[in-house]
Chain A
Amino acid sequence: MKKLLLVVTLVLFAMGISLAQRNASGKVTDSKGEPLIGASILVKGTSTGTVADIDGNYSLTVPSGSEVLVVSYTGFTTQEITLGASNLLDITMAESDATLSEVLVTAIGIQREKKALGYAVTELGGDQLQQKSEPDPVRAIAGKVPGVSISGAGGGPGQSTKINIRGFSSLTGNTQPLFVVDGIPFDNSTNTSNRDAQSSGNAYSSRAFDIDPNNIESITILKGAAAAALYGSRATNGVVVVTTKTGGKSTRKGLEVTYNSSYQIEEVSGLPDYQNSYGQGSGQNYNGGFIGNWGAPFSTEVDRLNGQYGTAYNKVIVNGYPEGTVPHPLVSTGFALAQGYDKVFPNLLDANGRAIAVPYRPYDIVGGFFETGKMWENSLSISAGGKEAGLNAVISRMTNEGIVPNAGASRTSLSFGGNANLANGLKVSGNVTYVNTTQQTPPTAGSIVGGNSFTATDGSIFTRLFFLPRNFDLNGSNPEGIPYPFENPADGSNVFYRALDNPLWLTKYNRYSSNVNRVYGNLALSYDVLPWLNLTGRGGINSYSDARKSVERQGGVADPDGEVWTDNIDNTEIDLNYLATVNTTLGENFDIRLIGGFNWNQRSSTSRYVVGDQLISIGLNNTDATAIQNSNESIRKQRFYAAYGDLQLGYKNFAYLGLTARNDFSSTLPEQNRSYFYPGVNASLVLTDMLGIANNFLGYAKLRGAWTQVGNEASPYQTVTNYRLGIPFVTAGGATRNRATLENTLRNANLVNELTTEIEFGTDIRLFKNRVGVEVTWFKRNSVDQITSTQVASSSGFSSAVVNAGEIENKGWEVLLNLTPIKMANGFEWNTTFNFTRIRTLVVDAGEGREIFIGGLTDSGGGVIHREGEQYGQIFGSKNARTPEGDILINKSLGLTIPLPTLEIIGNPNPDFQLGIINTFSFKGFSLNTLIDWRQGGDMYLTTAGALLLRGQLKATEDREGVRVIPGVYGDPQTFEPITDENGQYIKNTTGITAFDYHFSDGFGVYGADETNVYDITNIRLREVTLGYTFPKKLLSKTPIGSARITVSGRNLWWRAPNILEGVNQDPEVLAENPSNNVQGLEYGGYPTTRRYGVNLSVTF
């Protein structure tokens, strides 16, 4: 930060008119003698000044008649020093209490003093992201920034991550912020492929995963429109500005080499509490072909149950088989015999050709399936610098093996950057990074688990893994050593107890892989044309290709003939920025900075996929080796240019006014609407400075406010309704007939830009000599003219229409509270930070239909809906019929609830608030850092919970003897009205049902009304713990090592979600759909989250 400041102040004070009288020089240091690079030294009453260089040295020509120097430096008390006789003057500066005067990187790389900002910006240093047991730079932000909400898709290596800043500003479009790396937009798409078993989408990576946390110098989150407006269209959702080590301008003098290494292990973060009393079947009878666990009790439980309930269970489960055994299910059930497994596995038959007996007892199916994951990370940074030039290089590699066998990810990154001040006054800087990111996984997509799989992911490990019969020994772990084969030894085809793909078979054979090669770099040239005028040009390219392949071996159930597809995705973005910056003063009291800029941007992407069906050569996983191929090519290109201006006016270093304006011209809008303008204004007032009232209690107080608009363009090709060419119909006679249909989305030739208007107010206060710091921000953001795809009645011929419609209002509070409760003379210090976020996203206007169904899927065909007047993205599904008083209606003949045929809102997935609590304890070389995350409120439709109930798996459903009566009154299943007796009174339900019926059909399981599977997912978690020790310099003095630090860290070590059905133990911090999909509050039973912990080492030479 000091070096950044140097650059700024150099610009400000580069030119002085020379009337040489005497030369003053010396060194500016802090109280510990560390040089203060970039400290400003000004001759009082003049504009003559200089800044301290990299060693803190300065040299200044003082005009005759002047003898007072004003020395100032961010975070230190400004001093006035009178020159004595000597021209040599070393200056020691004292730290000021108000340390808010740090400089931040704001929009388009403009650096600003924080106190001048009229809006909230949060900066995280690289150290807050590195060595936290987290390879995903976005997930590492979670809990650390007020106003920012982050959720990983699941625990799979490289799985995508969703980040939302200040709520949601789009109904159906993108809600993900713009990522900017070293000044150039960085595509963070979660690209989905059109075809594959992963099609529910949450297994893919988000492309910000390509950023190596080890190479991050800092991340600045521009939360509001005011902060981000100069980025134009894409700033509507906020901006994540990443400065990399190689892109940052700081280099150390001399050579410094840093080596970081980290080894982590990962485990599944929660498994259900399974019941261990009853096995496979229904109605307390064993059935070796059923999925559910409503079968006969295990023989070991028989005496207990018969004693307790007077039941008459037999320890002999199947006649002719010994107590406590059943025939091997893979050679005895009707399904198995129809598959001919008895011929395939003669070893599972006894001498009489009968299935051998296998133990009838519960197994650790799920826990036995998962492995211990590993993450191994190494990084080497080299920094070298001289007076006029510096360079940085970072090389790193991360490999991650997941808890699911054969799932993994890796990232290899090479980055090189530098900067130089050339002799002719040209400043040049730039960097280039190459990164290779790979991901591979067996099919692990979220997948529904009723009998009817309702996503297209039958062939996913998680379709059945959590719901297998308790007695099905998937992993073959029985002490008798009886195998439960998962493949046919003759042809490698799938073997399972019913027509599903065996998780082990899927794990072994089916694979999705992605190989991303990404290059990005930028070059900036800058001139100080006049003392008060700087011209800067910056351009960059960010390009990646993602080569994907998915293989489904033949012989499976979901895809018996096998399939191979490839998808090659290319994405390139070019961005140019030209800035003219004027810095001047107006009289003594006014500072003026005016920036005029021009921005040009082009994005293009191509996806080419080939789907090959029906493998013709097993093991040759190539689309050529398939019988039928279909291909598709999709090209997208968009472009915009913009002119913008930014005026900042400072008055006496305590009052600031900023004005911004930008006009965009976008290719994606119709010609007549292509140009759009948006202005903004922000102001900041440092009360303590203005009134001169800073004291030991109140050290600093600032008020800030902003009003800003941001326009947003459309995505490409939304203006003309086109035809879609279909795959040809080949008649039974073999004639090929091509097809075309008018697409089902009605495009719009009159689109206009979206417009977001945001106001924010805030205050920054420091108390008790900085022991307490508070930043409070309130904002209100209204997004209108949303370019959205709204559902239209299909009788119009279209299922959706692209319209400008709707309004979303985001309102919220962000509170950042820093406390230093203990700071002792012996060096012990306790810092604590609270990051509080409370956001309400209200759908003010949902367009003509007054609601927009955005997708997702519940068992009844519901999903997630935006409804006018409600909060964003409500869970929409079936409800049980009730009396007006709220009693559940019961079908008298069945004893079960009566689900209404209509769908209603059944849950609000939005949290009440989120709170991140960071505690840091440091003592001498030790430091302990913990992050606790608390999410209060918000609902989720948990398919997994419903399915565990349905399948009789949970400890909570272990007690199943006798009948159950659902509390309620009788109702008419036809009219959904209560039935009344002769007195007009409701009739209480007395129809008893079995536990099986209670959970299996209309009732309380996944087949019941959707509302019964909605839970409040309030949760609290220990997200991050690091305990570190920095070796004392003394100890290292005789080694080449400059510094060394060792830490142990852990992530997601503990969590509780108290309102979820007991024993489900399912981490609700997962996504059902990929992050570019606005569906929230649903869970399909995908890759469970993990907990990770390990050790990290950092050494500098």
Chain B
Amino acid sequence: MDDCTPFSFCKQKEQVRHNSIQKQKRLTMKINYKIFVAIALFFVASSCDDMFDLDINTDPNNPAQASNNLLLTQSEYTLLNNLAGGVNNNQMGFMGIIGSGDSWNLAQSSYNGFWTDMYTGPLKDLDGLIAANTGATGSPQYLGIAQLLKAYGYATLVDLFGDVPFSEAAKGDAADKIINAKFDDDAAVYAECLKLIDEGIKNVNTVFRPLPITGDIIYNGNTERWAKFGKSLRMKMLLNTRLVNTNAKADIQALITENKMIAADVEDFTLQFSRTFSSAFDPRHPWYRASYTGPNGFTYVLHQPIAEMLVDKDPRISYYFRRQTKVVLNQADPSDRNTTPCSQVATCQYGYFVLSPTLPQQLYSTATLTTPQKDYLAGFFGRDRADPSGVPLDGGFRTMPGVYPAGGFFDVTAPGASTTGNANSAPGGGIFPAITSVNVLYYQIEAILALDVSGDAKALFEKAMRDHIKKVVDFGARTDANSTRPPYTRPDGVQVDIDSYVNLWLKRFDDAPSVDAKINVVLKQLWFSSWGNGYDIYNAFRRTGFPNTTQIPILTPRKFPLRLPYPQDELTVNTNAAALKDVIYDRDAIFWDK
């Protein structure tokens, strides 16, 4: 009886007591009976058995333990969802692909949320998984997966921030709890991560104590693919360190020779987001959430990638972008004029495509557009890089993410799915392509060109382009039934096909006069392939300075970010962060960026 109250449950006892009091009163008339009644008052309540039980402080709402599968799903989702979010957009913005951080003007508070979400989320839960599965009773497979994911998480943090807490991180609840984790040297964290990868691969390959691995929303418990992911991650990290690590070449060569990295679509390290959502939990692709479910949500696609994809007849264009409008803004109407891209600054290179003095000429060799051409170009409504203009009411005009990778629509196949109200009608289920077989190919190409490891760079470059286009097209076909495989005719009447596109780029590769120039071509192609994943292109640019053909930002209050600014919260609260207050993000490079 936990809810004993003196006025309900205990009534019967009161009666019993009252009776016994009556009896006593007769026996001892001279003793003041009032005392007994008064005392009875006390016992009325206190006779309830557990009234004095104070051991009721166990939280009835939340469990003290969580099983492997619960933690694994949580860790995988939160890790990749965090990495697919704003910090991913920013890296694409740094590189001039979308309008997010594209003027490089970062604030000390910009990454508070990301940092906190990483450390208090997946990195803590992965440590929990590792602790629970270390030792005789643990599952080596869960352990290995957790180690690989942890290595991926921390290596990514190092790429972004440099020195980060690692050895003492996420130990707030440890037996020897550490509240102020020290910041470990970035090179040392990288080395530890490489060790974790080795252990992780060893553990997932263990044949002992195999448990059915549930809760794995990346590889569905396929340990062989986890091992391949481990090797690929190793490759990525080694390539990152190639300027400072004398062993990088040999180690990379070994990985290539061994040939156990991600090589097929099904082996891609991607998170496919959900199609099921509620207002309390919406695990759909971040771009989908931004552009298909709310007004003005998605940032601007920058004009350079669109324009160049139009000119190059890139077959991916209708998969990448969904046009919303055919309306050509009337420059005589002040409302329309103000809404027009680049109407507020004079220095745009691309401007408003449909009224551009140069682009139609470039595309169609004529300045006079046909109606289909006009309709088509009117839908490409983005911004020049770092355009400082205010944001007009152009949510109904902006070019949106298409079917790949956000899970939206193939270009305009489903008109009416506008940015407001009648949303949520697109297929959904987009992906974050974190490390794919194509990324691995680009690692190899750069290694061949820059480090002279064995391999045919041109052949791999061709494969990389074809594989990426195939990935995009296949995903589109799976996701939006209206997707049209190349070759197809663009709505402006232009035919696009894979072979001519690939050949165009192979020629550019061949025409490049030097190794550096070839790297520049390859990485520019990686730039186009980075739609939805800004990590590799941002790393590559810091490592190589390529591609060097991106538009100069119109306004740059700051220089190019060599790293992300440390979060204000961590600098303020962590007593071990004092030395890092002097780190300036556009001046101080991380260890592998020499």
Q: Which residues in A have some Cβ–Cβ distance to B below 8 Å? A: 195, 281-283, 285-290, 296, 317-319, 332-335, 337-339, 424-426, 451, 493-494, 498-500, 523, 525, 527-530, 535, 537, 539, 541, 555, 557, 559-561, 563, 574, 576, 578, 598, 600, 604, 611, 613, 628, 630, 633-635, 637-641, 665-668, 671, 674, 716-717, 719-727, 729-732, 737-744, 746, 791-799, 801, 848-849, 851, 853, 860-861, 891, 901-903, 973-974, 1000-1001
Bound: A513/B71 CA distance, A: 38
Encode B70-83 as 1/0 by CB contact (under 8 A) with A: 11011001100000
Contacts A794-B119, A801-B179 known; A499 to B124 CB distance under 8 Å? Answer: no
Query: CB-CB < 8 A to A494: which residues of B?
Result: 421
Interface flag for B47 (CB, 8 Å):
no
Bound: A682/B165 CA distance, A: 53
Query: CB-CB < 8 A to A611: which residues of B?
Result: 278-280
| Min distance, Cβ A719 to any Cβ of chain B, angstroms | 6
CB pair B572–A795 under 8 Å, yes or no, is no
Contacts A281-B334, A641-B52, A730-B274 known; A796 to B119 CB distance under 8 Å? Answer: yes
Bound: A743/B65 CA distance, A: 11
Interface flag for B487 (CB, 8 Å):
no
Task: Please give me the residue from chain B that is nearest to A332 by CB atom.
Answer: B335
CB pair B274–A732 under 8 Å, yes or no, is yes
Query: CB-CB < 8 A to A974: which residues of B?
Result: 557-559, 586
CB pair A743–B335 under 8 Å, yes or no, is no
Contacts A720-B59, A722-B63 known; A318 to B334 CB distance under 8 Å? Answer: yes
Pick 28 A–B contacts, CB within 8 A, sort by A. Answer: A281-B338, A287-B393, A290-B393, A339-B418, A426-B37, A498-B393, A535-B34, A537-B38, A541-B7, A560-B421, A560-B423, A563-B279, A598-B42, A611-B278, A613-B277, A628-B276, A665-B54, A722-B63, A730-B275, A730-B283, A793-B179, A793-B181, A795-B169, A796-B172, A797-B127, A798-B172, A849-B573, A860-B107
Task: Please give me the residue from chain A that is nearest to B479 by CB atom.
Answer: A732
Query: CB-CB < 8 A to B338: which residues of A?
Result: 281-283, 285, 287, 290
Query: CB-CB < 8 A to B57: which residues of A?
Result: 638, 667-668, 716-717, 719
Bound: A563/B559 CA distance, A: 45
Interface flag for B112 (CB, 8 Å):
yes
Task: Please give me the residue from chain A that is nearest to B421 by CB atom.
Answer: A560
| Min distance, Cβ B539 to any Cβ of chain A, angstroms | 23
Query: CB-CB < 8 A to A555: which residues of B?
Result: 421
Bound: A338/B327 CA distance, A: 9
Query: CB-CB < 8 A to B181: which residues of A?
Result: 793, 795-796
Task: Please give me the residue from chain A that is nearest to B35 by CB atom.
Answer: A529
Bound: A687/B9 CA distance, A: 54
| Min distance, Cβ A828 to any Cβ of chain B, angstroms | 54
Query: CB-CB < 8 A to A195: which residues of B?
Result: 279-280
Task: Please give me the residue from chain B that is nearest to A288 by CB atom.
Answer: B335
Task: Please give me the residue from chain B that is nearest to A607 by CB atom.
Answer: B61
Interface flag for B212 (CB, 8 Å):
no
Bound: A755/B202 CA distance, A: 54
CB pair A727–B421 under 8 Å, yes or no, is no
Query: CB-CB < 8 A to B276: which residues of A?
Result: 628, 730
Task: Please give me the residue from chain B that is nearest to A903 by CB atom.
Answer: B568
CB pair A848–B179 under 8 Å, yes or no, is yes
| Min distance, Cβ A126 to any Cβ of chain B, angstroms | 28
Q: Identify which of residues 18-58 in chain B touch chain A, using a CB-to-CB cut-off of 8 Å.
A: 32, 34-35, 37-38, 41-42, 45, 51-58
Interface flag for B553 (CB, 8 Å):
no
Query: CB-CB < 8 A to A666: which residues of B?
Result: 54
| Min distance, Cβ A198 to any Cβ of chain B, angstroms | 14
CB pair A741–B78 under 8 Å, yes or no, is yes
| Min distance, Cβ A1091 to any Cβ of chain B, angstroms | 37
Query: CB-CB < 8 A to B217: which residues of A?
Result: 729, 731, 737
Query: CB-CB < 8 A to A901: which residues of B?
Result: 107-109, 565, 568
Interface flag for B210 (CB, 8 Å):
no
Bound: A537/B325 CA distance, A: 77
Query: CB-CB < 8 A to A727: which residues of B?
Result: 278, 280-281
Contacts A537-B42, A635-B60, A638-B56 known; A333 to B35 CB distance under 8 Å? Answer: no
Encode B107-120 as 1/0 by CB contact (under 8 A) with A: 11100100110011
Query: CB-CB < 8 A to A630: which residues of B?
Result: 278, 280-281
Query: CB-CB < 8 A to B180: which residues of A?
Result: 793, 796
Interface flag for B156 (CB, 8 Å):
no
| Min distance, Cβ B489 to any Cβ of chain A, angstroms | 27
Interface flag for B411 (CB, 8 Å):
no
CB pair B54–A799 under 8 Å, yes or no, is no
Query: CB-CB < 8 A to B565: which residues of A?
Result: 901
Query: CB-CB < 8 A to A598: which residues of B?
Result: 42
Contacts A281-B338, A668-B57 known; A600 to B392 CB distance under 8 Å? Answer: no
Interface flag for B574 (CB, 8 Å):
yes
Bound: A539/B58 CA distance, A: 27
Bound: A795/B179 CA distance, A: 8
CB pair A287–B339 under 8 Å, yes or no, is yes
Query: CB-CB < 8 A to A737: which residues of B?
Result: 69, 73, 215, 217
Task: Please give me the residue from chain A that is nearest to B284 by CB atom.
Answer: A732
CB pair A334–B397 under 8 Å, yes or no, is yes
Interface flag for B99 (CB, 8 Å):
no
Bound: A638/B177 CA distance, A: 28
Q: Identify which of residues 403-437 in chain B touch chain A, using a CB-to-CB cut-off of 8 Å.
A: 418-424, 428-429
Query: CB-CB < 8 A to A848: which residues of B?
Result: 179, 575
CB pair B418–A797 under 8 Å, yes or no, is no
Bound: A665/B333 CA distance, A: 75
CB pair B334–A738 under 8 Å, yes or no, is no
CB pair B59–A793 under 8 Å, yes or no, is no
Interface flag for B16 (CB, 8 Å):
no
Query: CB-CB < 8 A to B273: which residues of A?
Result: 732
Interface flag for B171 (CB, 8 Å):
yes
Interface flag for B373 (CB, 8 Å):
no
Bound: A574/B168 CA distance, A: 46
Interface flag for B394 (CB, 8 Å):
yes
Interface flag for B123 (CB, 8 Å):
yes
Q: Top 3 A-B pairs ranked by shortest CB distance? A: A338-B396, A499-B295, A289-B393
Bound: A630/B575 CA distance, A: 40
Bound: A727/B279 CA distance, A: 11
Contacts A739-B73, A740-B66, A797-B123 known; A334 to B278 CB distance under 8 Å? Answer: no
Query: CB-CB < 8 A to B536: which residues of A?
Result: none
CB pair A792–B172 under 8 Å, yes or no, is yes
CB pair A499–B5 under 8 Å, yes or no, is no
Bound: A792/B53 CA distance, A: 34
Interface flag for B459 (CB, 8 Å):
no
Query: CB-CB < 8 A to A539: which residues of B?
Result: 6-7, 45
Bound: A525/B7 CA distance, A: 14
Contacts A289-B335, A717-B57, A801-B179 known; A793 to B295 CB distance under 8 Å? Answer: no
CB pair B392–A795 under 8 Å, yes or no, is no
CB pair B569–A794 under 8 Å, yes or no, is yes
Cβ 8 A contact of B418, one of A287, A338, A861: A338
Query: CB-CB < 8 A to A638: which residues of B?
Result: 56-57
Contacts A289-B392, A600-B51 known; A743 to B62 CB distance under 8 Å? Answer: yes
- Identify the interface centre among A451, A634, A731: most chain B CB within 10 Å of its CB: A731
Bound: A674/B325 CA distance, A: 68
Bound: A729/B284 CA distance, A: 10
Interface flag for B92 (CB, 8 Å):
no
Query: CB-CB < 8 A to B327: which residues of A?
Result: 334, 337
Encode B383-399 as 1/0 by CB contact (under 8 A) with A: 00000001111111100
Query: CB-CB < 8 A to B335: which residues of A?
Result: 281, 286-289, 318, 332-334
CB pair A334–B339 under 8 Å, yes or no, is yes
Query: CB-CB < 8 A to B575: which residues of A?
Result: 848-849
Task: Please give me the residue from chain B that is nearest to A337 by CB atom.
Answer: B327
| Min distance, Cβ A566 to any Cβ of chain B, angstroms | 14
CB pair B296–A525 under 8 Å, yes or no, is no
Contacts A578-B42, A732-B275 known; A723 to B570 CB distance under 8 Å? Answer: no
Query: CB-CB < 8 A to B109: which residues of A?
Result: 860-861, 901, 903
Given contacts A332-B335, A797-B124, 14 further A-B contacts (CB under 8 A): A338-B418, A339-B418, A493-B421, A494-B421, A611-B279, A634-B61, A730-B275, A731-B274, A732-B273, A739-B70, A741-B66, A794-B115, A797-B120, A848-B179
